[in-house]
Structure 1
């Protein structure tokens, strides 16, 4: 019998075997995730007797999470864009106008409108989600508000220095209605996943990772990744486009490992942080990836230990060699991978929801 004939049935057999194994792994993970989500459905909390007008920033992953969280936190919550803020504040007479970020899609005169809202006797608060990357702009915005909240530890002192009296560290969180464990079809599955733009520090890291990733099933999505030195080796797994939230959730769920790499805090093109204020705090992706019940390996930030425990409910790396070593381990040891992922899911649902964060915000504003 020729070699070709002898191996002909072997290919389909091995394909079915691999498919069954992947299906089994996915099923085990989903079963354990389901146990966590079923056992962690807290009883509704009493609503605070306040009316809040929430001004969105235009980034659905966070905006929807806050809007959903407000409905579970206060008696009345209204959501609007910045162009309607002044009119609705006058019509609704809320107890608080809460602005998300105040950047990117906000009109140039929005601080004048904030000043007018304050003159109505309405409390105002802003929650900065892009610190410290746009502090050249936020430095002029923050003093117009009664309360300033920032997810970035290093910016608390900065806002006090520019004249803000009420400045508070308030980490971001996850929208558990969106970022959650789910069944996904095979096209969303990968060994290694990264979603985000190819900023220079990320390109440098993945240049070093490329030889290891070349024979893995990889998903990299976002702009600027054509700059990779080894683009041709990885291009079948690269999507040079923005990925909608609902698709990101599927890719996170389909990955064995999701890498999280924070952007560098100073870059003359991509950032507006001329003071070079350092980044000490974790990004929203940290919560979102863990909220999907997937193993996350992230670069280290100073406040990570306040929210997760490296090696227990999240993994970290400090350089490419350490990242490769950990990826090798967790791709070979499924139980180790699942154990940390499930712990991360549990802690995220227990401690890092927008309901939790908004409760703290309201305690400060209405103390």
Structure 2
């Protein structure tokens, strides 16, 4: 009986050891992949920085009297905001290329301790639905350093109303949110600075066949608008068409996009996207996926986006002409999409936006 017990214990021990080895192998593979990804990300940031220097990017800006490489920055980021985690990492990495020192802490960590540990020139808060502890707010109010918050894409200005009186700069995603809350701002400088799409999510990628489509239309099918008139023209016949908006069911056999479906997958699966242009966010995300798009006349140009890098239409006739041309010419479509992707990568990156933020604060 004792021999059987020993053998049984050995068998369990061997099985456990095998499981641990397998688990370590999986973790090592994942860690290796993460390290490789981070290395590529760092290299990409360096390449962007070199490109900016080679193109004498600084000569196109109002030059600051402050030397950024002499600045110390305290970066305060949310603790559990998964949607913002990648943005926070990229903002921190961008700052490390631009300033002397970056100290990144979470909302719950002591601001007072961080401020007493070193001299800080700028305190930058990355916005979130999370709240700062009262003791940190007190420490921030007392600090003489420049203070700014960059609101997240899903955050409203009224979520930071209590912070506005002691902030020097407020960076928002939409200009209309500034005018809605001017009475709260006091001496706070307000600026529109759209955060780039998350490059880990919105990027060129292969998708399963069930997510592929010929045309992806974004916008509501309103009576006699450009997209509705175009949809009735017959050019979409015998094509797989996805629609993201209201009123399309009566116009054709289209596939409605559901709320839970990942837009980055659908963008990558589409050959061509048509949208009204009401959302700059859509423009940037589609371009970041490397997908060709035709942008309507409603696009808001106040976000610092150079629309000459994209194909636009202002009438149904123009939409029809451009659709026929780019649908028939795959090479032209791919070239235009590649140019828009390069523009997003090198001119609308986190590094570029962070530099723009510093320019606004210190100029």
Would you say same fold, with TM above 0.5?
Answer: yes
What per-residue deviation string (whole Å, max 9, x for no partner) do you get for residues 153-208 of structure 1? 5666776664233233423323334322233343332211256xx77879977654
| The one of 232, 256, 271 aligned to 1:238 | 256
Could you tell me the TM-score, scaled by structure 1's length?
0.62
Q: How far is 1:148 from its partner?
A: 0.9
Change (3 A) 1:137 1:53: closer
| The one of 286, 292, 305 aligned to 1:307 | 305
- Is contact 2:204–2:288 with CA below 8 Å preserved after alignment? yes
Distance 1:119 1:305 in 2: 30
Distance 1:179 1:362 in 2: 25
- Is contact 1:192–1:216 with CA below 8 Å preserved after alignment? yes
- Determine whether 1:256 maps to 2:271: yes
Match runs of 1:51-200 below 5 Å:
51-55=74-78, 58=81, 60=83, 63-74=85-96, 75-76=101-102, 78=104, 80=106, 85=107, 87-93=109-115, 95=120, 96-102=122-128, 105-106=129-130, 115-121=137-143, 123-128=146-151, 142-153=164-175, 162-194=185-217
- Is contact 1:57–1:101 with CA below 8 Å preserved after alignment? no
- Is contact 1:55–1:98 with CA below 8 Å preserved after alignment? no
Q: How far is 1:331 from its partner?
A: 1.1
What per-residue deviation string (whole Å, max 9, x for no partner) do you get for residues 31-77 of structure 1? xxxxxx99x933579976433112379472x6523422322323445
What per-residue deviation string (whole Å, max 9, x for no partner) do you get for residues 254-313 of structure 1? 2221234455xxxxxxxxxxxxxxxxxx62232221122221222343427953343xx3
Change (3 A) 1:192 1:155: same
What corresponds to 1:355 in structure 2? 351
Distance 1:356 1:149 in 2: 15
Q: How far is 1:314 from its partner?
A: 0.8
Higher mean C-alpha deviation, range 285-294 or range 160-169: 160-169
Counterpart secondary structure, 1:171: coil
What corresponds to 2:20 in structure 1? none
Distance 1:111 1:202 in 2: 50
Tell me how many residue pairs correspond in the alignment: 290
Q: How far is 1:97 from its partner?
A: 4.8
What corresponds to 2:247 in structure 1? 228
Could you tell me the TM-score, scaled by structure 2's length?
0.62
Structure showing greater relative contact order (alpha-carbon pairs closer than 8 Å, 6 or more residues apart):
1
What corresponds to 1:323 in structure 2? 319
- Determine whether 1:335 maps to 2:335: no
Counterpart secondary structure, 2:194: coil
Q: Extract unaligned runs of 5+ from structure 2.
A: 1-42, 54-67
Aligned-residue RMSD, C-alpha: 4.3
Change (3 A) 1:89 1:290: same
Q: How far is 1:147 from its partner?
A: 1.2
Change (3 A) 1:363 1:114: farther
Counterpart secondary structure, 2:150: strand
Change (3 A) 1:355 1:333: same
Counterpart secondary structure, 1:73: helix
- Is contact 2:268–2:290 with CA below 8 Å preserved after alignment? yes
Change (3 A) 1:366 1:238: same
Q: How far is 1:336 from its partner?
A: 2.2
- Determine whether 1:41 maps to 2:47: yes
Distance 2:224 2:286 in 1: 21
Q: How far is 1:98 from its partner?
A: 3.5
